[in-house]
Amino acid sequence: MKLINSIFFILVVFSSSAQRCGLGVIASDELKSRHLQMQRIIENYEQEGVKNARVQEGIIKIPVVVHVIHDEFSGEIGNNGSTNISDQQIFSQIKVLNEDFRKAVGTPGFNNLEEGADLEIEFFLAQEDEFGNPSSGITRTYQNRPSYSIFSDLGFVSSLSYWDANKYLNIWVLNLGGLYLGYGEFPGAAIDGLELNDPPAATDGIFVDYQVFGRRTGTASNGIYSYGRTLTHEIGHWLGLIHTWGDERCGDDFCEDTPQAERENDSERCREIFSRCTGTVSRNMIENYMDYSPDSCMNVFTEDQKARVRTVLELSPRRRRLVLNSQFLLPSNDVADLRIISNPGTKNDIAFQILLPKFQDFSLSFYDVLGRPVGYREFKDYPSTVVRAADLDIPTGMLIVRMQTEGISIVKRVMVF
């Protein structure tokens, strides 16, 4: 949980301990057994050529649905300062996640530290909803309410828009009232620092304030938390990672290669912080995504954090189900494709599903039966998405639609009533 004002840190630690940290009630023998179990799984994971489980093989892809909970009565998207943030702002956040979790070279998510790890986890906006319908992976829900509390409103927010947490990572973007940046549910898993059981499915996801979602665009254009790292941090929690200082002075995050720290980096700059936890002075890893550092400081997950995440994905029932279910929701397109939904139909019914193997530009051109151009729209730096005919300036009648992207041209007929 990240805070704007560090004066509330005690409240955060108390809330986290009271609701999600089960170490205080676990018998010592059981705790030792868990620790040995986790160590065996980590050793298997780190041993070259050993594949402990399907969820640990290769790159893991996580399907995401972003629920925008807004108070924009007109429904207009991307107004200045509006909680109904733009698609482009959402796209920028997905890019940040994939840069950070893949330690992508040439991006702010890269580091050259020996302990710096590529977590081999990627995130993509879901292309199908729970019922198999084409989707952009974005939902928008109007609610005449200015803000929400992470302590009392999460169930209500989930009731407004939610997809099955056994198949999707739910991310709710909303106004958290200017105090909290975000909140991520921990998984249930029989390893150090986590409760045995998964949290309630309805709220098992991430809640992020609309002003810190995305990178340097829209409502996240300014400030020290405007580079999209709040979501990186909260997904770290969702995957079982603990704050680097263990939520107490010289606490334990159960990752050996993150230096023990007396406290979090609660400053507004990337200043070095030193701790004396083991009798010698050591530098805190303020660059770690699981600290409270300003966004621009962050660029490190470690190898032990990666091993812990992979262990969680093996032992947490819901996280494991999500990863295994994701194989049925993964993008199947190695090249671009165009699918027309509800054809023939009215402008309110017809939509165009654009399937892309990566973020890229594409265009839609429309022609009448005589070959005359009757509509055109360019889309810059998009992932796979769904474009509604009602949002395009096209006439009714028999039309030819052409999708063009990176040397690929796809032409289809569409009948608009």
Q: What token pair was written down for 351?
A: 């939509």
* Nearby residues of 172 by Cβ (< 8 Å), 6 or more positions away: 67, 69, 157, 158, 161, 205, 206, 207, 208
Does residue 51 sit in helix, strand or coil? coil
Which structure tokens are listed for 356? 């892309």
Rounded to whole angstroms, how far apart are CA atoms 59 and 41? 18
Is 406 an annotated catalytic residue?
no
Please tell me whether the peptide bond between 344 and the residue prior to it is cis, using omega within 30 degrees of 0: yes
292 close to 336: Cβ distance less than 8 angstroms: no
Per the residue annotation, which of 99, 185, 195, 234 is the catalytic one?
Answer: 234
| CA atoms within 13 Å, Cβ hemisphere of 34 | 21
Does the CA dihedral 52-316-301-102 come out positive or negative?
A: positive
Residue 393: how many CB atoms within 10 A of its CB? 9
Q: How far is CA 80 from the centre of its chain?
A: 24
Q: What is the largest CA-CA distance in the chain?
A: 82
- What are the residues whose beta carbons fall under 8 Å from the beta carbon of 70, sequence distance 6 or more? 82, 83, 84, 85, 140, 141, 142, 143, 174, 210
- As a whole number of angstroms, the distance between CA 362 and CA 247 comes to 46
Which positions are catalytic?
Answer: 234
